[in-house]
Amino acid sequence: MTTGDNRGSMSAARFLERGADELGRAGIAEARVEAELLLRHALGCTRESLLARLQEPVPAEATGHFFQLVERRRGRVPVQYIIGTQEFYGLSFRVTPAVLIPRPETEGVVEQTALAFENARAPRIADIGCGSGCIAVALAHTLRDAELVAIDRSKAALAIARENALRHGVVARVELLESDLLEAVADSDLDAVVSNPPYIPDEELAGLEPEVTEHEPRDALSGGADGLDVIRRLVPQAHRALRPGGMLVLEIGHGQSQAVETLLREAALLHERTVPDLAGIPRIVIARKL
């Protein structure tokens, strides 16, 4: 990226224009929004502070940093990994390439679980494949009496989940457990099992954006040939780990609802409902152990 000799005297507004132009030419869809995020990160300021100083020159020490960030984004590194955070359920979460970037669709898992347990006393809820801990931490933050178990087989992911639990003051109620799905959980120990499991069919992975295929952890995305490999293992394990009346809340992929309902029946779990996302796609499956 060519910056010119006068970049130190450029206003913040001009920096935004230059950054957005570079990102747009690299094919970044929300170029202006992301240029602003990167400039805020380089300056270490809030959006309100940046907007108030748009006509002021950018300090020299932030100039090179900003252009380095823009170059990384032009290389299709996700902006969330560059700035190190992502908003989810009204909270800011630390993210690194060790964990999947939280998506808005996954907020449905939190919403449905929080609704079901809003009047429950000290429910014990396990988040399977917790990654950044976004589901577990958001539930602990919302359900002030709940006990969460954040489970992942990745030590690096569990470290990020712990950092996020500390960040939001819920670490005392979030147990971190290294396990392959529910293998380390006792029988009939849980009131709910929740998860955003890997559910993308392998043949579809190559068609995703390079931000996903080249930077996010493949283990958190790949669901095997039909996208259901992990769900196929998780559903019967959930039946074993849930107490009678316990709830399973799963995020699923497009076109998977009927196959998942079959897996639930085979595991003797009662399918209650499937909730669509904002695009109308069946997204959150809710079932109970009788």
Residues sharing a CB contact under 8 Å with residue 181, sequence separation 6 or more, in sequence order: 128, 129, 151, 230, 233, 234, 237
pLDDT, residue 1, reads: 44
pLDDT, residue 284, reads: 98
- Pick from 146, 151, 141: which is nearest to 124 by CA? 146
pTM value? 0.93
Please state, in angstroms and rounded to a whole number, the distance separating the CA atoms of residues 14 and 145: 49
3-state secondary structure of 259: helix
pLDDT, residue 123, reads: 98
How far apart are the two ends of the chain, measured CA to CA in Å?
61
Structural domains in the chain, CATH included, are 7-75 (1.10.8), 96-289 (3.40.50.150)
Please state, in angstroms and rounded to a whole number, the distance separating the CA atoms of residues 165 and 141: 9
pLDDT, residue 118, reads: 96
pLDDT, residue 5, reads: 42
Residues 119, 120, 122, 126: is their CA dihedral positive or negative?
Answer: negative
- By the 10 Å C-beta count (0-12 exposed, 13-18 middle, 19+ buried), 160 is classed as buried
Mean pLDDT in order along the chain per 10 residues (290 residues): 52 95 96 97 95 92 94 97 98 98 98 97 98 98 98 98 98 98 97 98 95 96 97 98 98 97 98 97 97
21, two tokens: 């132009």
Please state, in angstroms and rounded to a whole number, the distance separating the CA atoms of residues 100 and 213: 11
pLDDT, residue 2, reads: 43
